[in-house]
Structure formats: structure tokens, C-alpha cells
Structure 1
Amino acid sequence: MTPSSPLLQPAPLSTVTLQVQRDGGGSRQPDRGDGSFCNPIVAGDHPDPTLLKDGPDYYMTASSLQSCPGVLICHSRDLVNWTPITAALTQPLGSVSAMDLVRHGGRYFVYLPVLQGRRSAIYVIHAEDIRGPWSPPLDLGLDGCLDPSHVVGEDGRRHLFVNGARRIELSDDGLATHGELQFAHRIGQQQRERGTDLPVSEGPRLLRRGEFFYMISALATSEGHVLAVAKSRSVFGPWEDCPFNPIASAGDADAPWCTGGRVSLVEGPGGDWWMACHGHEHGYRTLGRQTLLQPIEWTRDGWFRTVGARLDRPMRKPRGGCGDHPAQPLSDDFRQNRLGLQWSFFDAGPGELLRARYADDGLLLRGKGSGPHDCSPLTCRVGDHSYVAELDFELDGTVQAGLALFHDTRGFVGIGIGDGLVHTYSYGQEHRWMRQPTQGRHHRLRMTHRRHLVSFHHAASDGPWTQNPWLRDISTLHQNGLGALLSLRPALFAAGPGEVRFRHFSYQSLDA
């Protein structure tokens, strides 16, 4: 057994693309191949997207929350087809939410809001190449702040806007702040004066277009999130509210997509403009908040509004773009000598990534905790309604290994192998009465997920498959049922003393 190179060494774009092309599995593809696309453009849990136009290239990242490695950056040439290229954050910080990805002075920056227990703070990471290496995270000392948005003012100085519509100046290198937080604007004041309460629920997104700066805020109402906009010729104000605020709403409860959160506006390759946001798919909240794209148009008086078909209908693609049709790289033979971009640890602790190392014949993962609930499982985001996943592994020691659908420490279903037994987990607890004997160190597991009905099979070594008697409906394992803004993900786990050798993980969509 030969140790390999570091797990998180960045791979060049060509390497990642080859891996994607030969994978063959993956989530629903948005490109219809006829000049149109269907939402979501990135299926699965990718909330609060932030888009960066960099010449002919587009880059996007989304909230990582409690996943590490995090800050997954994807690349596109047409705003519809996206390929993951790197995970920029390899150090556990806490729960990383709505970020801002920018380029300034030839360098790339990501401003990260992080929840660390009762503390909220903003960090920054930077790189000369979007594919890395990325710097260690630097704390900007902005306690109590979230939802950063970077903008360069009319004076050429850099500024950061945060929750509460507050602004603070940044140093020229973007790695420190100057002065104190200043209140910028109470967006939605016109609506309040008319008796409509629209409190600012998230930090504004700043955009400069022509002579105007735009402050775009997600506001909370009794009917859900709406968007409101203000504009100014200076980052220092005064700001003018759009006369037809709100410009977009979350939609009806029965709508195919329920949108919300921060949005990101970007000019398309052909000069048209687009807005990316996230949304819950009706009937599939278990998939989390997925990334959606819709066109906007600018009015003669300098405002914008959403246009086009409903979010569940085909739309024409952005003009002038060119892109292939990559599949999500979810299957893994664990022979890449690096942690695949599809994988992340849930609620990782210090040194979590050191639990994993590569050998000649698979990924070795050291056990932790006592079960799926406290072992920081290795998870991957999916966007399909139905799929089948299989896992091939060997046990070393008294460790328990398994395959699960994991939302958080309270919400998961799955099966594990350890101590000569098959263990069954449902809704966060083990059903001890369902324990079944099994033999040997080499095992295979299969999970079949058909539109919220999940079943499992087990095979010892190369023997026949045996179906687990437990069939679960997991349609309630989502935010409304469990309270956490997460998604339900396939997960590999290793719990207890010892080590697991994962030999192969396969994923195949069953969606038509």
C-alpha cells in the first residue's frame, strides 16, 4: 500500500473535464440541445449563487453551509452548462452562507460569511488563479456581519456592503477594513410608509452598471421573500428606491418553484442580462435550494425587471454562448489520488480531512464517533428525483461503515456494516430489532431512491444481493420538517475505531 499525493491538490481544468465526461451519471441537465434550457441550471443544493463574468468565462459559487471542502467553484461559457473546477475552501470554519465572488486587480477574491456558534463573521480568501491554490481564510473582524457584497466605488476605492444595508471601506488589497460600518440605506422605506412592513432580511447585493450603482435586497414578507432595488450614482448615496418595488416575488405556494434569497445579476455573452437565484422545487424540498436562471431587461429610466416564461418552462439560452453538456462527476473509483469535487464532510472539525488518505486500491477513511449522527459523513449533492447508488468497501478493525441519505444529525436513513451485523437506521436512530448477521470484511451496499421511497440491499463480498426489509418514505426530511437549511444527500460513513477502505462508489440517475 503506497500513500498518495495530498487529497486536496487542485486538478487542472482538463483533468476535471475528463473525469466529468467519463462519469456518465449525474443530475438533470438543463441544456435541451435546441437552443433552449430548463431550470435548474445547477440541480441540487446550491443556494445564494454568486456569478462572476471574467471575459468570455463565467464562474459561480454558492453557499457551502456545513460542508468541507467548500466554496465549490464552477465554470461556464454560456450561463447554462456548468462544470466544477475547484473547492476553494479546505479548512473548516463553521457554516458558510451567501458569499461574493469577485475579481479585482488581477486577483480573485471570495468574501465568506461564517456562523461559528453564536458568532457571525466575515472572512476572505484570494488567489491569482481561479483554480487555486487559494489562500487560507483571513478574518476581517466584522463580528455580527453576514451577506457581504464587494463593490468598487466611483472614487476607485473598494467597499463591502453587509446585512442591515451597512457599508465599510476596504484596504486597497481587499484584505482589511478601514473605518467603521456606516448605515447606507433603508431599502423599502416607500413600502413601509404605505403601511407594508418589508424588513431587510438579507444583505444587499451591489452591482455597478453604467453611471449607476444598484442595491438589490431580499426582503421578508408574510407571503415569502421579494426583491427590492435602489440605485445611486455614488456608493455613499443618496439611494433612490425603485418605484415599482418589489420587482420579483417568491410565487404562489403551489408554483413549481418557490424562490428566495440573494440574487446575482450578470451580463450574458451576447449582451443580454440574466438573474440567478435559488429556489425550492415543488414537491422536492429534499433536494435543497437549487440554482435558477431567468432573463431580465433594463428600462429606459435605468431600472430592471424580470421577463420571460415561467421558471418551469423552457427558455431560450443566453445569446452568444458556447458550452458542452457535462455530467456531474458523482461516481468515483477512488483512484484519482485526490478527494473528488463531489465530496465534502458534513460538520467537519479541525483536522477532519486528515481522516482520509488514498492508497493504491481505494480511499481509506478513519472512523469517528459512534454512528452516522456524529461521524461527519462524506456526502455528495444530487439533483435527481430518482437514482440508484452502490458502494463497495472493506472493513479494518471494529469500525462500522455504511451508505445513507443524510440531511443532518437528526434526519437520516441508511444501513451500516460492523461487528458482524447489518445495522438499519431510520429518521436518525437505529432499529436494533432489525439487526441481521453478516460475515467477512468485504461488503457491498445498494440504495435505490424512487421519488422519496428508499430501499437498501446488502451483499457480502461477491455474493447475491439481499434486500433490507425496511422501505422508507423520506419526503419530510427537509427544512420544513427538520428546521435546517440543508438538503438530503447520499453519504458514506465510517464510525468507531478502525478504518474503512472504500473501493468504488457508483451513481446512476433513474429520471427519464
Structure 2
Amino acid sequence: MSTAGELEQVYTGWRYPKEWLTEGFYLESPKLTYKDGYYYMTSAQGGTAGPATSHMIVSARAASLDGPWENSPHNPVIRTKHRREQWWSKGHGTLVDTPEGDWYLVYHAYEKDYYPLGRQSLLEPVTWTADGWFTAGDQEAGAAPAIGLPSKPDRALVSEESGGLGLHWHFWGGVHREDYRIDKNSVVLKAVPGEQSGPLLCIPVHHTYTAEVTIAVEDGAYGTLGLFYKLGFHYGIGFDGREAFAYRNGNTSERSAASGGSVTLRLINDEHEVSLYFMDAKGEWSKLDHGFEMSGFHHNVLGGFLSLRIALQASGAGEVRFSGFKYRAGL
């Protein structure tokens, strides 16, 4: 694949009203679809994040790739019109069709008031008009379909089918992805010195959720159960073999003695407010006083187009064993 000939600009986008609140004009990500003698260009404008009303999907068509390109009379095909809506910054759409002849727009958006969950994928049916344009969603209300989420999504550390690490788990930045082993139903992470190691992550999907894991450590190592956005923004609870402690970007506080060789750590995120618990050999849950408020852990504050993920991390020297991981919606 290579370019041929001189660079030529054939399309400049759709000029939305200046009074609209966006992140910027930012014409980007054109996708081409050929249908019934026309090339349809589906593009993003308005900025991927920023204000709730920023992003949008626009359409243009032409009989030739060289143009002239005609903007759709239905632009923007999809857009968040007001921050009261369920989905914010709706945009970056792709037209897809099925073998049955149905058409859809796949795009992403942020859920209202839940930026830390990151951009989520949405799907809307497309209707083709008699004059060859397409529309999607409720054009008056700007509505998007609700997404049903399982109350008990599979987040097991070890897959029952493969016996390996669950596919929904991933290492931050791909680093240290070989520094683990599976031992029966446990994942044993090699402890890495310092706080710049890549934790093992999975994506939560609920407004309120509880995560638990049992941790056993070797001398010189400590393990944590936390919430991670990116390096330098990682909060949670940990265990070093003797004490449970609150954990914030590598700094520990409120240490509490924990008896036995392992503890079960619990983290509850209740609509951005996080509380921390541990259970040692005595079999009773103890709550730390230290808690966190994490509604600001998202792209508009920290950049990166990331999300707040559940994190397991082994630090220091030696190994940390993680077992019995549980994730559930609610408290």
C-alpha cells in the first residue's frame, strides 16, 4: 500500500452551527461505504471527549471518490444534543450491514456522569430514505438505545475452559505480560521493584461494584487490589504479609495488622466513592478508614482516552499469589 499522485483535498466536513458546544471542529476518521452507485463517507467531528455535546457523526456522498461530496441533509446523523441524555459525546460511527440486509451504525460514547467507565460501544439501526440517505436513532430527542449488562459478568482470573489467564484480563501497556504463571486456580505474579510496573487489569462495567481477591505473598513482596487509570494514578488496598494498608500511587497509609499467611481484600466502588476492606485468618471483615473519591479519573482530566480498571499488582521482590477473584454488581 502506498500513495500515488499529488495529495488532493476532496472534502472539508459539515459546518455545524457555531453556537454548539464542542471540543473543536476536528474532522477525522472517515469511513467509506459503496452502495447503489454512491460512495458514502461517514466521519467524526466535534472532538471525541470534552463537553457532553461535543462529538457527532456526519455523512456525505459522491458518485466519485474525487467528489464533489454532498453533505447529508440529516447531519449530524447522531449527536448528543444535551447533557441530560444518557450517552455523552456520541460519535466515530461506522456503517455495517448484515447478510440479512439490515444496516447499523457502530459508534462510541461516554455514559452520563460515568466518564471513568471509559468510552463504550453502542449499536443503532439505520434507516435508508427514498432519496438514498440514511438516518439513525430518534432525530428529535437524540436518543440512543439502552445497553443491557449482565449482572454477573465473567471476570474469573483463570479460565475454566483453557486453564489459562482469563481473556478479559490484560497487562498495562503489555509490560510484564510474561511475568506470571498459573498454579491450579491461582495466578502467581512475579513481584517487580518500584511502582512503575504494569498491573494486571480488567474492565468493570457497573456504576456500583464489588471486587475481592485473596492474596498470599513471599517475604519482600506485597500485593494490591486497586483501581488504576494510568501510571501515577493507582489507588487501592494492599497486603505485605503482616499488615493490610491503603495504597495511593505507591504511598501507603493506615496500616492494620493482619494475621495469617494470606488475606482477602475487598474494594467497593459505589458510584465513584471507594471503600476498602480486608479479611484475615480470624474470618471477619475489617474496614479501613481511608477511602477515595474517583469521579475525576477520566480523559477530560488526565488524558489518554482510558478508563478506570480493576488492578492486581505485585511489587517488591519474590512472588504474589492471587486467587478467588470475584466481581459483582452492587455492594
More off after superposition, 221-230 vs 441-450: 221-230
Q: In structure 1, what is the Cα distance between the partners aligned to 2:5 and 2:179?
A: 41
Indicate how the Cα distance of structure 1 residues 478 and 264 shifts in structure 2: closer, same or farther if over 3 A, else same. same
Cross-structure match for 2:41: 215
Write the deviation string for residues 82-107 of structure 1: whole angstroms up to 9, x where unpaired. xxxxxxxxxxxxxxxxxxxxxxxxxx
Q: In structure 2, what is the Cα distance between the partners aligned to 1:467 and 1:179?
A: 65
Q: In structure 2, what is the Cα distance between the partners aligned to 1:254 and 1:459?
A: 41
Write the deviation string for residues 236-287 of structure 1: whole angstroms up to 9, x where unpaired. 4443332443333232123221133411222256533221211111111111
Write the deviation string for residues 468-499 of structure 1: whole angstroms up to 9, x where unpaired. 12232222222233233111111111112111
Q: In structure 1, what is the Cα distance between the partners aligned to 2:19 and 2:216?
A: 64
Q: In structure 2, what is the Cα distance between the partners aligned to 1:311 and 1:195?
A: 21
Alignment of 1:260-279 (within 5 A): 260-268=90-98, 270-279=100-109
Q: In structure 1, what is the Cα distance between the partners aligned to 2:29 and 2:295?
A: 31
Gaps of 5+ in 2: none
Cross-structure match for 2:13: 188
Indicate how the Cα distance of structure 1 residues 233 and 418 shifts in structure 2: closer, same or farther if over 3 A, else same. same
Report whether the alignment pairs 1:366 with 2:190. yes
What amino acid does structure 1 have at the position aligned with 2:230? D
SS of 1:475's partner is coil
Alignment of 1:44-443 (within 5 A): 170=1, 177=2, 179=4, 182-188=7-13, 191=15, 199-220=25-46, 224-268=54-98, 270-308=100-138, 311=143, 328-333=153-158, 336-349=162-175, 352-371=176-195, 374-418=196-240, 420-426=242-248, 428=249, 430-432=251-253, 434-443=254-263
How far did residue 449 of structure 1 move?
A: 2.0
Gaps of 5+ in 1: 1-169, 171-176, 318-324
How far did residue 412 of structure 1 move?
A: 2.7
Give the TM-score, by structure 1 length: 0.56
Alpha-carbon RMSD: 3.2
CA contact (8 A) 1:387 1:510 kept: yes
Q: In structure 2, what is the Cα distance between the partners aligned to 1:329 and 1:210?
A: 43
Indicate how the Cα distance of structure 1 residues 387 and 269 shifts in structure 2: closer, same or farther if over 3 A, else same. farther
SS of 1:208's partner is strand
Indicate how the Cα distance of structure 1 residues 201 and 441 shifts in structure 2: closer, same or farther if over 3 A, else same. farther
Indicate how the Cα distance of structure 1 residues 192 and 509 shifts in structure 2: closer, same or farther if over 3 A, else same. closer
How far did residue 186 of structure 1 move?
A: 2.4
Write the deviation string for residues 132-175 of structure 1: whole angstroms up to 9, x where unpaired. xxxxxxxxxxxxxxxxxxxxxxxxxxxxxxxxxxxxxx3xxxxx
Indicate how the Cα distance of structure 1 residues 218 and 505 shifts in structure 2: closer, same or farther if over 3 A, else same. same
Q: In structure 1, what is the Cα distance between the partners aligned to 2:159 and 2:216?
A: 13
SS of 1:391's partner is strand
Q: In structure 1, what is the Cα distance between the partners aligned to 2:262 and 2:197?
A: 21
CA contact (8 A) 2:237 2:244 kept: yes
Write the deviation string for residues 14-57 of structure 1: whole angstroms up to 9, x where unpaired. xxxxxxxxxxxxxxxxxxxxxxxxxxxxxxxxxxxxxxxxxxxx
SS of 1:354's partner is coil
How far did residue 193 of structure 1 move?
A: 12
Percent identity among equivalent residues? 29
Q: In structure 1, what is the Cα distance between the partners aligned to 2:155 and 2:131?
A: 46
Q: In structure 2, what is the Cα distance between the partners aligned to 1:456 and 1:181?
A: 60
Q: In structure 1, what is the Cα distance between the partners aligned to 2:86 and 2:17?
A: 33
CA contact (8 A) 2:118 2:298 kept: yes
Write the deviation string for residues 341-388 of structure 1: whole angstroms up to 9, x where unpaired. 110111233xx22112212352121112423xx121111112111111
Q: In structure 1, what is the Cα distance between the partners aligned to 2:212 and 2:170?
A: 18
